[in-house]
Amino acid sequence: MSPFKDLSRSQPNDAFYDLPPLGMDATAIAADVRHYFAHTMGQDRNSRSAYYPYEALAITLRDRLMERWKRTRQAHNDADCKRTYYLSLEFLMGRTLCNALLNLGVHDAAEQGLYDMGLVLEELASGERDAGLGNGGLGRLAACFLDSCATLELPVKGYGLRYEYGMFRQLIEDGHQLEEPDHWMRDGSPWELERPEYTQRIQFGGRTERYKDATGRPAARWVDTRDVLAVPYDVPIPGYRNDNINTLRLWKAAATDEFDLGEFNAGSYPESVAQKNAAEHITMVLYPNDASESGKELRLRQQFFLASASIKDVMREWVRLKGKNFSEFAAKNCFQLNDTHPAISVAELMRQLMDEHDLDWGPAWAITTKTMAYTNHTLLPEALERWPVRLFEQLLPRVLEIIYEINARFLAEVASRWPGDSERQRRMSLIEEGHERQVRMAYLAIVGSFSVNGVAALHSKLLVEGLFKDFYDLWPHKFNNKTNGVTQRRWLALCNPGLREFLDETIGDGWVRDLDQLERLAPYANDAVFRQRWRAIKQENKRRLAQTVKQLVHVEFPEEAMFDVQVKRIHEYKRQLLNILHVIHLYNRIKRGDTRDWTPRCVLIGGKAAPGYYMAKQIIKLINNVARAVNRDPDTEGRLRVAFLPDYRVSLMEVIAPGTDLSEQISTAGKEASGTGNMKFMMNGAVTIGTLDGANIEIREQVGDENFFLFGLTAAEVEQRRGHYDPNAVIARDSALQDVMNLLESGHFNQFEGGIFDAIIHTIRSPHDPWMTAADFQGYCEAQERAAAAYRDQEHWTRMSILNTAHSGFFSSDRTIGEYNRDIWHLDAVPPVPL
Ligand code: HT8
């Protein structure tokens, strides 16, 4: 039946609507699981798959989320509150089941209820596939933010795309990365709710037509378009034990029902229908590049599809409640743009206000620039989005006209502020002139927003001194910093149950909502009994991690060794290469017998390379080849182990972070905007070895220099050295690095694969190496020695570990979201209508 057909003869009464609350105890949960397993999934004793009991439990929990979800929506409507919409092309949610159990407060009840029926919760939970709708930090940040907004009872709705294929699955074959498509929702997802009644119609192509409206005012409309439907799927976002459930709305592209037989000969009906499937390609697959733009037409389609559908969704609700009066729109709505990916929203909001809701330019622009806020996540030039004007002409002609008009008015403002400075106008123009004219999306975002923020103190400073300096000179009040954070619900309470219990016992459980309370741990760093238990928990987590490593790559990690971990996207600026050069250095030391006071070490590296990123894939191959050579050599036994963990993802990090001793955060200074893995490790009691980059700087400030292994050039020194960097002189002066290069260049790690590492060797020796790997090698090795020495004194190391957790309160995404709300959104917390 169509969801659009309204009831007419039926008159549902209270008997239909009023339901008793669902039980939250073990018995009630078990009863529902049994019911769904037998009556909904149609299973019986012959069922062997772990999938059906998982699904039955998921639906049981979904029912309980649903009860609360409606009340949250009702509370928001009743309060007529201001709302924020977090627009993002990526939400890297990971698994949902255990998070729902934790936040609903029914983990133990469910575990008991299942146990009574002979089922093991952990086994069911570990069968869930990650929702990999993001690349890395930027997408995971969006997921952490949603958790914090729901916990803080802020009326924030996420808007994203429901990709049929998420982040690819990474296979390692013969040391090389292979990609396999991730058809993650083939079996459907119990966590989404289709809402066909809120479908929107999105335009592409066509042309602009000018006309006079009923009042004689000149107006424009976008006609002869090829339309695509946007169908929303809602995902519940539970707050921590507060009965508040926010919404993540993901759009799926679908074909319209009408189609153009005229274009085809009569009789090519099947071809015409098939042609419509092209519409559904828009949300087929996530682009797998992190911090680099793809430049592909389909990607621009995705961006506009998200922006247009989400804004239309907000407008529909506005018009339903307020009619055509937009005077309060900016006071009640805020769009937070997650990087420039949804920046086209600036022009699309203008278009909808003017062409669909009859506002003039002035009022529409006033609304837009009081409603949009933009977060920048990188300074890397290859990630700065620019779209060819030609593409816009074909795909979004009316939107391009509006961008031109925004630019004309903006450049007039620049000209009046700096008369005659045409060079500045050229620099600041939204349109980059040149061989191919391009729209600069970051500039569109800045001009259209009232707030522009970076994601860590150094990054925000570098933005206003460099990339956005001209804009800062014009509008200093727009620029601000919001240092990233991560949710301690997933990244401590859920992933580290051993530590969670110990924390609860020691300082109470208030830290789950208020992470600053971890500060109360600091005095216990001096308590030997406390340290003993802390170590025992870490050991247990290391055993769990070692088991995972063994299972996945058949490498033994002895648990008394230092677990030294670098997991993140593979990118040259993150310098996994520096890490592996240090591994080769350790290997050299073992081979030459330089092993007095040796600290046994297990080096774990994981991460995905963008499929088209040649160097990143070479680095993966090198890591694998070095790992093979090291692990095979009997001399390394008990001293050094190396493993590359395939298919790094959210659910793997949940095992990795608790079991890590040393967290590698070694990017070239000035290049990692923030990093967020660094925070997850710190929370779980790992000590950081790192450069003065991104949030590392703030981590070091919080934990103190004595609890952090610092090395490397500063961002300023990196820039000073550019132009006269001479890595070959650096290598010649450093015998350890010389030895490493000799071994690498001898072909020791690629004996039957001649020349495969030439490109890597070349970049290390190139005076144009932007990442200055050789420059930081010596400092890195010294810091690694300090870490190794510190680890040998286990009491000292445990003290450092405790203090890292104790001082990690600042890195809760609750703090970050509190700042977004205080400085940018100005939302009131709205408690849900009680059950
Ligand atoms: C930063 C990371 C930071 C995290 O945001 C990052 N930025 C991107 N990915 C990140 O993890 C990013 C930036 C531009 C892009 C893109 C991804 C352009 C196109 C496609 C993907 O690197 O330091 O912690 C959250 O702020």
Other beta carbons less than 10 A from residue 140's beta carbon: 26
Query: How much is the pLDDT for 281?
Result: 95
pLDDT of 277 over the 90 cut: no
Mean pLDDT of 379-383: 94
Q: Give the HSE-up count for residue 149: Cα atoms under 13 Å, Cβ half-sphere.
A: 27
H/E stretch holding 778: helix 773-792
How sure is the predictor about 834, in pLDDT bands with cuts at 50, 70 and 90? Answer: confident
Can you give the pLDDT at residue 271?
A: 77
Q: What is the pLDDT of residue 273?
A: 79
What is the phi-psi region of residue 670: left when phi exceeds 0, alpha when psi lies from -120 to 50, beta otherwise? left
> Could you list the active site residues?
377, 568-569, 574, 676, 680
Output the pLDDT for position 261.
61
Q: How far is the CA of 484 from the centre of ligand 1 (A)?
A: 12
Ligand 1 atom closest to residue 675's alpha carbon, by position in its atom list: 24
Class of domain 488-805: alpha beta
pLDDT beyond 70 at 234? yes
Q: Which whole number is the average pLDDT over 111-132?
A: 97
Q: What is the CATH number of domain 80-95+130-482?
A: 3.40.50.2000
Give the DSSP letter string of 487-544.
-HIIIIIIT-HHHHHHHHHHH-SGGGT-GGGGGGGGGGGG-HHHHHHHHHHHHHHHHH
Give every CB contact of residue 721 below 8 A, 6+ residues apart in sequence.
Answer: 713, 772, 775
Q: Which atom of ligand 1 is nearest to the CA of 694?
A: 23
Task: Specify the pLDDT at position 260.
Answer: 64
Q: Which class for 621: exposed (0-12), middle (13-18), buried (19 or more C-beta within 10 A)?
A: buried
One-letter amino acid for residue 446 of the chain: I
Q: Measure 137 CA to ligand 1 centroid, in angstroms.
A: 6
Q: Is 141 within 8 Å of 807 (Cβ atoms)?
A: no
pLDDT above 80 for 621: yes
With a cut of 90, say whether residue 230 has pLDDT above it. yes
Give mean pLDDT, residues 263-269: 63
- CA 480 to ligand 1 center in whole angstroms: 18
Q: At 545, is the pLDDT very low, low, confident or very high (cuts 50, 70, 90)? A: very high
Query: What average pLDDT does this structure show over 668-686?
Result: 98
Q: Taking residues 72-101, what's their average pLDDT?
A: 98
Q: What is the pLDDT of residue 263?
A: 55
- Average pLDDT for the chain: 97
Give the pocket of ligand 1 (CB within 6 Å): 135-138, 141, 289-291, 293, 339, 377-378, 383, 455, 484, 672-676, 694
- Whether 278 has a pLDDT exceeding 90, the answer reads no
Q: Residues with Cβ < 8 Å from 533, sequence gap 6 or more?
A: 502
With beta carbons less than 8 A apart as the criterion, state whether 685 and 538 touch: yes
Q: What is the pLDDT of residues 289-316, one digit of tens each?
A: 998 888 899 999 999 999 999 999 999 9
Identity of the amino acid at 760: I
pLDDT single digits (tens) 787-796: 999 999 999 9
- Band (262; pLDDT cuts 50, 70, 90): low
So what's the pLDDT on residue 267? 64
Residues 662-666, mean pLDDT to the nearest whole number? 99
What is the domain partition of the chain in residue ranges? 23-79+96-129, 80-95+130-482, 488-805
Strand partners, 6: none
Mean pLDDT throughout 247-252? 98
Please indicate whether residue 48 or residue 277 has the higher confidence score (pLDDT): 48
| pLDDT at res. 266 | 61
> What is the arithmetic mean of pLDDT over 650-665?
99
Q: pLDDT category, 1, cuts 50, 70, 90?
A: low
Mutational test site, ligand 1, from 89, 92, 133, 138, max ligand atoms within 8 Å of CB: 138
Q: Whose CA is nearest to atom 13 of ligand 1?
A: 291
pLDDT in tens, 396-440: 999 999 999 999 999 999 999 999 999 999 999 999 999 999 999
The answer to whether domain 80-95+130-482 and domain 488-805 are alike in fold is: yes
The answer to whether residue 272 scores a pLDDT higher than 80 is no
